[in-house]
Amino acid sequence: MGFAHLPQFFYSQFAVTPPKPTKDCTGKTVIITGANVGLGKEAARHYVRLNAERVIIACRSSEKGEAAKQDIEQSTGRKGAIEVWQLDLASYESVKQFAKRVNTLPRVDIMIENAGISTAKYSLAEDNESTITVNVVSTFLLALLVIPKLRETASKYNILPTLTIVSSEVHHFTSFPERKASSIFSTLNSKEEARMADRYNVSKFLEVVSIREIVKENPNLGEQLTLNFVNPGWCHSELMREISNHIIRLIQLIMCRTTEVGSRTLVDAGLRGQESHGKYLSDCRVEKCSVLVEGREGPEIQKRVWGELREKLEKIQPGVTKVLSA
C-alpha cells in the first residue's frame, strides 16, 4: 500500500518548496500545540513575524517552552506576543484543563494541533497505547473542547476561525489491516497485536478518516469554522529522535525539508480559509488522500473509526461530541 504515491512523494521532497507566508495576522490569536520545538516552534515564529497579537505555545515542558519563547523573541525582535501554556496530551485531565483555559480567552482565530509522538515502543497512556492516546484521542478531545470558543470568535468578530490538525502523507503508506477487526481500537491497543513499526502511519490515517467523517456528518460546521488537515512533508524534526539506523539518517539528510520550510505548510493551513474545509492540504494546496481513504472501502472505514472514537470521547467527557451539531 502506498507505492503509487511514491512518485508524488519524491517530487514534493525534491522539487517543491512551499512559499514563505506573507499574510498579515494583526489582531489574531493563534494557538499551536507541540510548539516548543520543530515544526510548531517555526510556525509560531512565522506567526509572530506576521504580527499576530497573541501566539500561545502549548507544550509539556514549561521550561522548554520558555526557551522557545526567548529564541523566537530574539529572532523576530518582538516581545510580549508569545505565551507558554502547559499541555500534556498523554493526560485527558491536562487536555480538559488546557481547553478550559482556552475558553477564557477573548478570541481564538487559529488553532493548530501539531503535537504528536512517534515511537516503536509499546506503552500505555490513559486507556490506550500511547500513540493512539496522544495523536488521536487527545487530539480530537482538544479539538471538540475548543470548538465553542472558535464559534464564539466567529460570531463576535464576524470571521471564520480555523482548526488545523497536522497529519502526514504517511497515511498513504499503511494498509490499515486493523480495519478488518471487530473492534478497531481494541485491536490497536492490544500489546499482542500491536504493529508498532506501522503505528505512527496508522495514527495519521485515523486522523484523516475521522476528520472526513466529522465533516460529512456535520455539513453546517463549515459555516462556523474551517476544519482542515495538513501534511508538512518529510522534515527534520524531533519525531525522528528514536531512529538510529544510519542509512535512514543519511536519507533524511538528503531528502528532508528543513523544519522552517515544513512549518510554512502549517501557517498556510491556518490561513487558507473556507476553501480548505474538510480538505487534506499538501505543498500548500488541496490534494487527494490515500487510495484506501478515497476508494471503495473509505466511507465505511471512516464511519467505523469515527464511531468508535466518538464513543471513547463521550466516555472521557460526556456530551462533548454534541458541539459538532450545535
User: Helix, strand or coil for residue 44?
Assistant: helix
Kind of pairing between the strands at 110-113 and 124-125: unpaired
Q: Domains of the chain (ranges plus CATH)? A: 3-14+24-315 (3.40.50.720)
The cell for 292 is: 484506501
Give Cα separations from 127 to 123, 132, 137, 316, 320 (angstroms): 11, 9, 10, 10, 18
What sections of 234-326 are H helices per DSSP? 246-255, 259-271, 291-294, 298-316
Q: CA neighbours within 13 Å on the CB side: how many for 78?
A: 18
Question: Tell me, what's the pLDDT at 159?
Answer: 98
Question: Tell me, what's the pLDDT at 246?
Answer: 58
pTM of the model: 0.94
Active site residues: 167, 200, 204
Q: Where are the beta strands (DSSP E) in the chain?
A: 29-33, 54-59, 82-86, 110-113, 124-125, 128-129, 162-166, 226-231, 280-282, 285-287
What tens-digit pLDDT sequence spans the chain (326 residues)?
Answer: 566 788 888 778 787 899 999 999 999 999 999 999 999 999 999 999 999 999 999 999 999 999 999 999 999 999 999 999 999 999 999 999 999 999 999 999 999 999 999 999 999 999 999 999 999 999 999 999 999 999 999 999 999 999 999 999 999 999 999 999 999 999 999 999 999 999 999 999 999 999 999 999 999 999 999 999 999 987 776 655 555 555 565 666 667 889 999 999 999 999 999 999 999 999 999 999 999 999 999 999 999 999 999 999 999 999 999 999 87
Show contacts of 307-315: CB within 8 Å, 24+ apart.
308/183, 308/184, 308/185, 309/136, 309/137, 309/140, 309/185, 309/206, 309/210, 312/127, 312/137, 312/185, 313/137, 313/140, 313/141, 313/144
Nearest partner of 257 among 229, 237, 281, judged by Cα: 237
Q: By the 8 A CB rule, do 165 and 211 touch? A: yes
The cell for 196 is: 508498532
